[in-house]
Amino acid sequence: MATKSISSNPPPLELMEVSKTFHQGESRVDALRGVSLKANHAEFLAIMGASGSGKSTLLHAIAGLTDIDGGQILIEGENLAKLSDAKLTKFRRNRIGLVFQAFNLIPTLTAEANVLLPAVGRAGIEARITELFDKLGLAARRKHKPDALSGGEQQRVAIARALICDPALLLLDEPTGSLDSVAGQELCRILKELSETAQRTIVVVTHEPAVAQWADRVIVLRDGKLVDDFPTADLEDARDLSQRYQTALEAPLATER
């Protein structure tokens, strides 16, 4: 396994006591309750939790797509809450790569054109796109439209698009949800390689232990609270990870933090 570099710069991601509440009529849902965590340079994090645990809300908050009610979200030391809408949009485009479960590729554009969308007008982008397509195993698929690509290939095109502007963070929401098990594990291998050899900081939301085991650390959310944070190196396999995850979900509330 490659040795990860240590940077003296601010961490790519730091959350301090992040809270978010949704109001539905007279009902109140505390989606996030005082979540604090930090991702280091080139670290691969998996966020797990049952439906309604707040994991997707947390990912969208990190991406600057959901405003938070309290706390701070810092990306490379930049407090997202202090950015104007225009500056946040620019910051998100340049420093945050986000891959949705649905891929969100434009069907009338080729793979290459889809990837280039966030980088229109940038100098030297041709070398960058060639590097990404080579690294992601898509060199022969640049001129194909999405309907001519497999699900795994579409997902990799979406990842290339998220990486084209060289972001500080790569965020993925249930990246294997639309893939079969073989394609899903291949995607996990690619993400691990991006973290280790390309020094990418990656945060993945998933409910699958077989995906989370590829990460360096697993964050478990329960009812909007962070209830466990553990390294995968301590575990033998996905079964061990699943047991640790279930223990965190079933532990008495008094043990939560």
Question: What's the gap between Cα 57 and its chain centre?
Answer: 12
SS3 77: coil
pLDDT over 50 (residue 255): no
* pLDDT tens profile 207-241: 999 999 999 999 999 999 999 999 999 899 999 99
The CA-based diameter of the chain, rounded to the nearest angstrom, is 55
Of 91, 76, 65, which Cα lies nearest the Cα of 165?
91
More confident residue, 70 or 179: 70
Residue 25, classified by CB atoms within 10 Å of its CB into exposed (0-12), middle (13-18) or buried (19+), is exposed
- Averaged pLDDT of the chain: 91
Q: What's this model's pTM, rounded to 2 decimal places? A: 0.90
CA distances from residue 2 to 5, 12, 43, 187 in whole angstroms, order as listed: 9, 19, 12, 19
Residue 73: which H helix or E strand, with range? strand 70-75
Q: Are strands 201-205 and 169-173 parallel, antiparallel or unpaired?
A: parallel
Average pLDDT over residues 48-52: 92
Give, as one character, the DSSP assignment of residue 169: E
More confident residue, 251 or 3: 251
- Residue 253 has a pLDDT of 58
What topology does CATH give the domain 13-255? Rossmann fold (3.40.50)
- List residues bridging with 203 in a β-sheet: 45, 171
Q: Is there a contact between 173 and 56 (Cβ–Cβ < 8 Å)?
A: yes
Of 192, 218, 194, which Cα lies nearest the Cα of 205?
218
Task: Give the whole-number percent of the chain exceeding pLDDT 90.
Answer: 76
* pLDDT tens profile 190-207: 999 999 988 999 999 999
* pLDDT tens profile 93-142: 899 999 988 889 999 999 999 999 988 878 778 888 999 999 999 999 99
* pLDDT tens profile 145-168: 999 999 999 999 999 999 999 999
User: Rounded CA gap, 161 and 159, in Å?
Assistant: 5
SS3 146: helix
